[in-house]
Amino acid sequence: MMSDLKTAVVAIGGNALLRAGEEPTIENQIKNVRETAKYLAQMVKMGYDIVITHGNGPQVGNLLLQNEISKETVPPMPMDVCVAESQGQIGYLLQQMLTNQLRFIGIEREVAPIITRVLVREDDPAFKNPTKPIGPYYSKDEAERLMEENGWQMKFDEARGGYRRVVPSPEPIDIVEKKSIKRMVFGGDEQSTIVVASGGGGIPVVNQGERLFGIDAVIDKDLAGCVLASSIDEKFFIILTDVPSVYINFRKEGEKALESVTLEEIKKYQAEGHFAAGSMGPKIKAAVRFLENGGEKVLITSPENLIDSLNGYGGTYILQ
C-alpha cells in the first residue's frame, strides 16, 4: 500500500545506532547513524516531514560506567542527568549525519534535537517493582554497599555473574515539551524542522506538588514515541527495528510476515502471544496504544526496507 500521510514520527531502535556486539567507538556509531540517516534523508526527499525518536541503551550505559570508573575524581551525575547527556550525544550525531545525507541529495533542512522530559505518574505500579537493568556490573560487596548507601535495588545477573542496578520502567503519560516540538514541525511558513525528540524514552519526571522532579527510571522508547506522536497530533507512527516485517509464529512452523493488518487483527495476534516480551512485544503495545489514541497508521519495518515500504513494497502496516 502507498502512504498518503506526509508527516510521521519515526522511532529508531538501538541497533540502528550501535549493533549488538560492536565496540561503542565513535567510528562505529558514526557508521551506523550515517547508514540510518541515509534512509531518513530519502524519506524527507519523498516529501515527508519527520520527528525522530531513538533508543539510548548502550550510550547511557557507557555514561553511567564512565561516572562509576571516575567517581573518585569527578563527582558522578544522577541517572536523569546522564539520560540528558545521552540525548545530547545521540541527538548531535543524528543531527550531523542527517544534515549531511540531506545535503548530498540537495536538501538543506534544519535538524534540531530537543532535550525532552517525559511525564510519568508518581504512583505508577512500576515503582514498586523495578525490572530494568542499567549501568555497570558490581561484585556482591559493592552491590551491598550501593544498596545501603544509595538505596538502589540490585539484582544478580546469572549470565555475567555480577550484580546490576535495576530501575523502574513506568508508563509515559505526556511529553513536557510537546508545544515546542509542534511549533518546530508545523509552525511558520518556512520548511519545517526535522526534530529529534524524546531520546532514550525521554528524561522521566514526576509532578511532586508544584514542581517537576527528575527520577531514576527508564521509559520504553517505543511507548514514549507513541505518546510523542499522539501529543503532537501526528497520525502516522513508524517503528524501525531489526526485522523487515512483523511475523506471526516468528522462527516457528507457520512463520508468516504480516503485510497489512487492522488494529483488531493485531490485538488478536497479541492476545495469542505471537509477540515476545523482549523484542516485538513492546512495539506492538506502542502501535496498539497509538491507534487507540487517535493515530491512523503504524508501519513497522527495518531501516533498509523503509523506502520500499513507504512505496508499498514490504513492511507491516497496522491500520484502524
Question: Residue 192 class from Cβ within 10 Å (0-12 exposed, 13-18 middle, 19+ buried)?
Answer: middle
**Is 315 an active-site residue?**
no
Q: Report the residue number, 10 or 119, with the smaller CB distance to a copy of itself.
A: 119
What distance in Å separates the CA atoms of residue 174 and residue 118, rounded to the nearest whole number?
A: 6
Is 260 one of the binding residues for a copy of itself (CB under 8 A)? no
Residues 178-197 that bind a copy of itself (CB under 8 A): 179-180, 183-184, 187-188, 190, 193, 195-196
Can you tell me which of 78, 125, 294, 312 binds a copy of itself, judged by CB under 8 A? 78
Query: Annotated catalytic residue: which of 14, 199, 202, 314?
Result: 14
Closest CA to 164 of 173, 156, 176, 172: 156
What distance in Å separates the CA atoms of residue 218 and residue 198, rounded to the nearest whole number?
A: 12
Q: Report the residue number, 157 or 292, with the smaller CB distance to a copy of itself.
A: 157
Q: Using the rule CB under 8 A, give the single segment among 99-107, 159-167, 216-224, 301-309 that binds a copy of itself.
A: 99-107
Q: How many residues does the chain have?
A: 320
Opening angle at CA 174, ends 318 and 132, nearest 5: 80
What distance in Å separates the CA atoms of residue 188 and residue 52, rounded to the nearest whole number?
A: 20
Question: Residue 112 class from Cβ within 10 Å (0-12 exposed, 13-18 middle, 19+ buried)?
Answer: middle
In angstroms, what is the C-alpha Rg of the chain?
20
Is 62 one of the binding residues for a copy of itself (CB under 8 A)? yes
**Is 182 an active-site residue?**
no
Can you tell me which of 15, 87, 302, 309 binds a copy of itself, judged by CB under 8 A? 87
Q: Using the rule CB under 8 A, give the single segment among 6-14, 61-69, 248-256, 294-302 that binds a copy of itself.
A: 61-69
Query: Annotated catalytic residue: which of 38, 178, 221, 297?
Result: 221
**Beta-carbon count within 10 A of 129 CB:** 10
| Interacting residue ranges for a copy of itself, rule: CB under 8 A | 23-26, 62-63, 65-67, 69-70, 73-75, 77-78, 80-81, 84-89, 91-93, 95-96, 99-100, 103-104, 110-115, 117, 176-177, 179-180, 183-184, 187-188, 190, 193, 195-196, 203, 205, 210-212, 214
